[in-house]
Amino acid sequence: MMLNQFLLLAAVLFCIGVYGVLTRRNGVLVLMSVELILNAVNINLVAFGAFRDNVQGDVFAIFVIAVAAAEVGVGLAMVLLMYRNRKSTDFTELDMLKG
User: In the complex, which residues of this chain contact another protein (CB under 8 A)?
Assistant: 18, 21-23, 30, 91-92, 94-99
Q: Comparing C-alpha atoms, which of 77, 96, 79 is closest to residue 24?
A: 79
Rank residues 6 and 26 by Cβ distance to another protein and give the closer one.
Answer: 26
Contact 25, 90 (CB under 8 A): yes
**Shortest Å distance, C-beta 85 to another protein:** 16
Contact 83, 89 (CB under 8 A): yes
**Shortest Å distance, C-beta 14 to another protein:** 10
**Shortest Å distance, C-beta 61 to another protein:** 21
Rank residues 4 and 53 by Cβ distance to another protein and give the closer one.
Answer: 4
Contact 72, 64 (CB under 8 A): no
